[in-house]
Amino acid sequence: METQTAKILDGKALAATIQQELATTIAELQPKIGRPPGLAVLMVGDNPASAAYVKNKEKAGAKVGIASFGQHFPTQTSQTVLEEVIAELNQDEQVDGILVQLPLPKHLDAISLLHKIAPDKDADGLHPINLGKLVRGETGLRSCTPAGVMRLLEEYKIPLVGKQAVVVGRSILVGKPMALMLLEADATVTIAHSRTQDLKTITQNADILIAAAGIPGLITAQMVKPGAVVIDVGINRVTDSSGKSRLIGDIDFAATASVAEYITPVPGGIGPMTVAMLLQNTVSSYLQTTRN
Ligand code: NAD
């Protein structure tokens, strides 16, 4: 059995600190603004993983003083109904953040719904305007998961300038914005994906390795450069031989923790940071209302 020498990047603890700070900011500003920040998480259907994520987001929001305007729709809800709800929320002055929980049932077009969210209420940072601002290096609402990774790296003062960063995954939700944020921080960035050949040779060069493929155990200790900083974005539910289910990431944590210098756990790493960034985006839109 390997000895764990890597230090843990504790996303759970940092998320708790950020949420405490947000709670203080909200408590101070609410009397001046005359209302709490509002977040509308829209969920369609009954995907159990999505339901758990939504509950988590709303619970964390309530804890810091964010009012919930969340709605839960039956699976058969039409695109038109959802577009109308988003249009109303865009106009609602009590609402600062809107997010559509993905994935959506097959008959719905997620991209077109995301386009309907007002960019300044786009708490998930997935609207083309906000993604475009990220490409251009302009201030805007940033996608929560990669923003959470950057915040965690910053907290532990991990140097990024000139470092080799490898992102495994190229989704709009995680991989692509992650690569852009690392690039913005002056890392030298490589994106690996499902068609990448010889993944191991690429990951072995990474000073900073971010796994976001959604494949349990994809990254083994042999694929990691000694002393690397390893971030596991993957969340995979697996069932062990005794029938017990648990969450694991894309990285073989036990073995990799004897090679890497820093590593994130799953759960307790990037998951809580994602929620903290969602709340932060909502509060940052709320703060804009005081400047108008
Ligand atoms: P996705 O399925 O949209 O994208 C997966 C990416 O992995 C694709 O770009 C694909 O090209 C790449 N990929 C697939 N097989 C590969 C392989 N063998 N080698 C290299 N690359 C490969 O998933 P996503 O939405 O980007 O999410 C990725 C993972 O992160 C999932 O496990 C998801 O649950 C998790 N996630 C976690 C959080 C969080 O809060 N921690 C947030 C979002 C997603």
Q: Tell me how far CA of residue 10 lies from CA of 3, 167, 272, in angstroms.
A: 19, 20, 10
* Cis peptide preceding 103, ω within 30 of 0: yes
151 φ, ψ to 5°?
-65, -40
Residue 43 pLDDT greater than 70, yes or no: yes
Write down the catalytic residue from 10, 101, 176, 207: 101
| Domains 34-119 and 144-271 equal at CATH topology level | yes
Say yes or no: CB of residue 196 within 6 Å of ligand 1: yes
* 59 labelled catalytic: no
Residue 291 pLDDT greater than 80, yes or no: no
CA-170 nearest atom, ligand 1: 9
* Per-residue model confidence (pLDDT) at position 292: 55
Determine the distance separating the centroid of ligand 1 and the alpha carbon of 62, expressed in angstroms.
29
Which of 235, 277, 278, when mutated, tests ligand 1's pocket best, judged by the most ligand atoms within 8 Å of its CB? 235
Say yes or no: CB of residue 236 within 6 Å of ligand 1: yes
Q: What percent of the chain has pLDDT over 90?
A: 96
Residue 290 pLDDT greater than 80, yes or no: no
* 197 labelled catalytic: no
Average pLDDT over residues 200-209: 98
* Per-residue model confidence (pLDDT) at position 1: 61
* Rounded CA separation 236/144 (Å): 19
* Per-residue model confidence (pLDDT) at position 196: 98
Q: What CATH number does domain 144-271 carry, 1.10.3720.10, 3.40.50.300, 3.40.50.720, 3.30.390.30?
A: 3.40.50.720
Determine the distance separating the centroid of ligand 1 and the alpha carbon of 219, expressed in angstroms.
13
Residue 113 pLDDT greater than 80, yes or no: yes
> Residue 67 contacts by C-beta under 8 Å, 6 or more apart in sequence?
35, 36, 37, 38, 39, 61, 94
Which structure tokens are listed for 104? 């959506």
> Which residues face 42 on adjacent strands?
71, 100
Average pLDDT over residues 262-267: 98
* pLDDT tens per residue, range 120-163: 999 999 999 999 999 999 999 999 999 999 999 999 999 999 99
How would residue 4 be classed by pLDDT, with cut points 50, 70 and 90? confident
Averaged pLDDT score across all residues of the chain: 96
* Rounded CA separation 208/156 (Å): 13
Write down the catalytic residue from 10, 57, 122, 207: 57
* Per-residue model confidence (pLDDT) at position 3: 84
* Rounded CA separation 263/9 (Å): 6
DSSP-based three-state secondary structure for 209: strand
* Per-residue model confidence (pLDDT) at position 30: 96
Write down the catalytic residue from 124, 207, 232, 250: 124
DSSP letters along 171-183, please?
-TTTHHHHHHHHH
Determine the distance separating the centroid of ligand 1 and the alpha carbon of 214, expressed in angstroms.
4
Taking the domain 34-119, which CATH number applies?
3.40.50.10860
Which of 102, 150, 173, 248, when mutated, tests ligand 1's pocket best, judged by the most ligand atoms within 8 Å of its CB? 173
Show the CA angle centred on residue 15, arms to residues 206 and 167, nearest 5°. 20
Average pLDDT over residues 6-26: 98
Residue 289 pLDDT greater than 90, yes or no: no
Return the sign of the alpha-carbon dihedral for residues 149, 151, 152, 153: positive
Determine the distance separating the centroid of ligand 1 and the alpha carbon of 144, expressed in angstroms.
14
* 101 labelled catalytic: yes
Average pLDDT over residues 24-50: 96
Say yes or no: CB of residue 11 within 6 Å of ligand 1: no
For ligand 1, atom 13, which residue shows the shortest CA distance?
194
Domain boundaries, the chain: 34-119, 144-271
Say yes or no: CB of residue 35 within 6 Å of ligand 1: no
